[in-house]
Amino acid sequence: MLKKPSATAKPLWKKAPFKSSYDAVIIGGGLHGLATAYFLARDHGMTNIAVIEKRYIGFGGAGRNTAIVRANQRTQENVPLYKEALELWPVLTRELDFNLMFYNCGNLNLAHSDAALKAMRTNVATARFHGVQSRVVDPKECKELVPALDISERPRYPIFGGMYHPPGGIVRHDAVVWGLAKGATAKGIHIHQGTEVTGIGVSNGKVVSVETDKGKIATNRVLNAAGGYSAALSWNLLGMKLPISVLTIQAMVTQPLKPLLHHVVSSGAYHCYANQTLKGEIATGSHMDPWPNYTTQTTARYIKHQAEALIEMMPCLSGIKFMRTWGGLADMTPDMAPIMDGNHPHEGYYLDCGWGYFGFKSSTVTGKYMAQYMATGQCPEILAPFALRRFQEHRLMGETAALVNYTPDN
């Protein structure tokens, strides 16, 4: 069964010469950018495309998230998108001939109040209405799913029940970056790492070029998929203000252990989620830092909070050790839903940003539809609700029921 793989001998992705003209330029060698590039080639035959990455591919959120995937979002605008994203992992694994290591372990979200159970019912009903498996479970079933949970009355937030979502799980995030880079370059797309975009040329309302520190590129399509830096880029290069606050979000892993958690488990009351990676580490994180911040610095408060929350939820974790914590940037919109838009105010300028901390699970499917958008110039129906103008019209999406807490006024 085990054959020595030969692929190790040749590079996963090719280095490419820097050309002075491309049919499209994608800013950001993260997951959204790479996925869009891949699908432009796969579905639309567009291969004369450059992905420009200031650092190295996967430097930003792509390599800093905790790799959880699921499709039990709150609104009907979101669920179909994430549902298709879940279905894409095996497809892409096959197409890219690269194991993205989708571990379909299912997600358990805990409720610690009647209000939380109510919110879960909305999510469950919305998921099931769209044919996505999800159900409300009682504390006993929570314990059966995750034996490490303390379902007694002892914890400060006793468990009232939960939402179990079997189709979700985790994916190896680095594998997705490398697999997409492999697939995109195999189709002829150029990835330029260590290259910084310094300007976007606009003439008569149309994008005409992208300037970089390696030279100018003539192009009439540019995608801003720069993650945490997308809003700053839009403002600095085009004077276009996006309703995005950037905040640090932190995550951490414990030392690796033999299998302990068989599902992703999360809790809003504790601001805490945890899952066990295939390597055996318990990866855990929580909410963003409560103030805007462009650094990826970690804080003392956060890791202590995480420890406190984890051992209330799962007391056995007291006996294991944190070994690494890191920070990433979350580009948050006022309604915690992304901005996917194009062609206004500048024709040829496309946006795929504001993903906050949902950017990983959505990356591939977004790439598919953003590619369609860029190739045809027409917004795919599934992306229409995510247009920027919803903020001008005060029509926020209902992805989060509760008030969001990341502006300085809170």
Partner 1 sequence: MNRLNHLDTLKIRPDESVTIEYLGKPFQGAAGDTIATLLYGGGVRIFGRSLKYHRPRGLYSLNGECSNTLMAVDGEPNVRGETTEARNGMVVEPQNVKGDPARDLMGFMDKLSPVLPAGFYYKMFHKPASLWPKAIKGIRKAAGLGKISPHFTMKGSFDEIYLNADVCVIGGGPAGMAAALAASQAGLRVILLESRPWLGGFFDYRPGLYDRGRSLADRVETDPNIRVFTRTSVIGSYTDNLITAFCRGDGSDAFDERYLEIRAKSVVTSTGCIERPLLFAHNERPGVMQISCAHRLIRTWGILPGTSAVFSIGDDLGLEAALDLADLGMEIQCVADVREDGQNEALADRLAEKGIPLFRGWVAAASDGDPKVKRVSLTAINGVRSREFECDLIVAGAGQTPVTGPLTLAGAKQRFDRRTGFFLPVDLPRKMHAAGRMLGYIDPDAIEASGDLAGVKAAADCNGADDSKIREAEERLGDLQGPARGTKFIIGPVKTGKTFICFDEDTTVKNVDQAIAGGFDVPELIKRFTAAGTGPGQGGIPGHNLPLYVGLTGQSPDLDPRPTTVRPPLTPTLIAAYAGSNHDMSKRTPMHEEQVKAGGRMERVGVWHRARRFGDDAAAAAEIENVRNNVGILDASTLGKFRIFGPDVLKALDRVYVGSMSRVKSDRMLYSAMCNEDGCIIDDGVLVKRGENDYYFTTSTGRAGSSAEWIRYHTRYENWDFHIVNLTDAFGVINLAGPNARKTLEKVADADLSNDAFPFMGYREFSIKEIPVRAMRLGFVGELSFELHVASSWMPALWKIIEEAGAEFGIRHFGLEAQNVLRMEKGHLIIGSESEQRTTLHDVGLGFLWHKEKREADTVGAAALRHTENQEGRLKLVGIEAQDPQQTPRDGSIIVDEKIRGYVATARYSRTLEKSVGMALVESELADIGTQLEIFEGEKDDERLAATVVPMPFYDPEGRRLRM
Q: Which of residues 101-140 bind partner 1 (CB under 8 A)?
A: 101-104, 112-115, 117-122, 124-129, 134-136
206-245 footprint of partner 1 as x/- string (CB under 8 A): ----------------------------------------
Nearer to partner 1, 136 or 240 (CB): 136
Q: How far is the CB of 324 from partner 1 (least distance, A)?
A: 5
Q: Which of 93, 57, 91 shows the shortest CA–CA distance to 178?
A: 57
Residues 240-279 that bind partner 1 (CB under 8 A): 254-260, 269, 276, 278-279
Cα gap 401→56, rounded to integer Å: 36
Residue 354 CA, chain-centre distance (Å), reads: 10
Residues 161-200 that bind partner 1 (CB under 8 A): 172, 174-175, 178-179
Q: Is 160 helix (H, G, I), strand (E, B) or coil?
A: coil
Nearer to partner 1, 120 or 197 (CB): 120
Q: Which of 244, 330, 279 shows the shortest CA–CA distance to 61?
A: 330
Give me the residue label for tokens 């400060």: 156
Residues 306-365 that bind partner 1 (CB under 8 A): 306-308, 310-312, 314-326, 334-335
Q: How far is the CB of 13 from partner 1 (least distance, A)?
A: 5
Residues 282-311 that bind partner 1 (CB under 8 A): 297-300, 303-304, 306-308, 310-311
Q: How far is the CB of 202 from partner 1 (least distance, A)?
A: 29
297-304 long-range Cβ contacts below 8 angstroms, 24+ apart: 297/248, 297/327, 298/248, 298/250, 298/325, 298/326, 298/327, 299/250, 302/250, 303/250, 303/252
Q: How far is the CB of 124 from partner 1 (least distance, A)?
A: 4
- Contact status: 386 vs partner 1 (CB under 8 A): no
- Contact status: 400 vs partner 1 (CB under 8 A): yes
5-24 footprint of partner 1 as x/- string (CB under 8 A): x-xxxxxxxxx---------
Residue 177 CA, chain-centre distance (Å), reads: 12
User: 15-49: string of b/e by CB count within 10 Å (b at 16+)?
Assistant: eeeeeeebebbbbbbbbbbbbbbbbbbbeeebbeb
First to last CA, the chain: 57
Nearer to partner 1, 34 or 202 (CB): 34
Q: How far is the CB of 260 from partner 1 (least distance, A)?
A: 6
Q: What Cα–Cα distance (Å) separates residue 170 from each residue in 41, 89, 274? A: 27, 10, 11
Nearer to partner 1, 8 or 204 (CB): 8
Contact predicate 57/193, CB 8 Å: yes
- Contact status: 157 vs partner 1 (CB under 8 A): yes
Q: How far is the CB of 273 from partner 1 (least distance, A)?
A: 15
Residues 66-105 that bind partner 1 (CB under 8 A): 75-76, 90, 93-94, 97-99, 101-104
